[in-house]
Chains A and B, each alone.
Chain A
Amino acid sequence: EIVLTQSPGTLSFSPGERATLSCRASQSVSSSYLAWYQQKPGQAPRLLIYGASSRATGIPDRFSGRGSGTDFTLTISRLEPEDFAVYYCQQYGSSPQTFGQGTKLEIK
């Protein structure tokens, strides 16, 4: 099973700043089958990025993903108030598909 590690657990930023979140895999993620989700309290996760770098439908271009192999990042170029939430990465290249434990993005 591929273990995804998201660190740190919490990041603090001010609106307007640039934030980069990390997701590291215990083994190489095949074909860059890595996705990112945003989850707000009491809501289901929302797909942001798939295939490591492709934005999902309707996702603003301030969200971008990159990486390959074992190291992946999600960057939010200019934080908006609605971006403060928990972010999860997911690998779907190997069974079982697994999720990271999440990074909480909080307002400084």
Chain B
Amino acid sequence: QLQLQESGPGLVKPSETPSLTCTVSGGSISSSSYYWGWIRQPPGKGLEWIGSIYYSGSTYYNPSLKSRVTISVDTSKNQFSLKLSSVTAADTAVYYCARLGWNPLYYIDVWGKGTTVTVSS
């Protein structure tokens, strides 16, 4: 059964560039059938798509975050990662990694449990 597990720093200071990693188990990130993505949810609020990546490295970002986001993939480790630069308190959220379908814009059928990132000095 496919499982996704996020890992990250937990607490970061404003202006830093935290990195989050999603480890995929029970399946290959190199499958030609899927994109992989990041979605976040601020406390008590709704969901926001951050971006998606294919195993080849093709990326698609939310325009509202594009200038600060980098998503990368490491097929040898079956992982993909998110870097978010110049963070502020507004970036405090639960960050989910997820499996999408054959298109970078797609519904999400597998979610990680989420990792909380808190931005505070």
Contact = CB atoms under 8 A, between A and B. Distances in A.
A34 to B, nearest CB: 9
Size range of the chain A interface in the assembly: 20 to 34
Nearest to B4: A44
Contacts of A90: 47, 107-108
A60 interface: no
B107 A44 contact: no
Contacts of A102: 46
A35 B103 CA distance: 15
A47 B63 CA distance: 25
Contacts of A93: 105
A19 interface: no
Contacts of B46: 88, 99-102
B106 A45 contact: no
A96 B62 contact: yes
A43 B41 CA distance: 11
Nearest to A86: B46
Given A44-B112, A88-B47, A96 B106 contact: no
A45 B109 CA distance: 9
B25 to A, nearest CB: 16
A94 interface: yes
Nearest to B108: A47
27 contacts: A1-B63, A33-B105, A33-B107, A35-B108, A43-B113, A44-B96, A44-B112, A44-B114, A45-B47, A45-B96, A45-B108, A45-B111, A46-B111, A47-B108, A47-B109, A57-B109, A90-B47, A93-B105, A94-B105, A96-B49, A96-B63, A96-B64, A97-B49, A97-B105, A99-B49, A101-B45, A102-B46
Interface of A: 1, 33, 35, 37, 43-47, 50, 56-57, 88, 90, 92-102
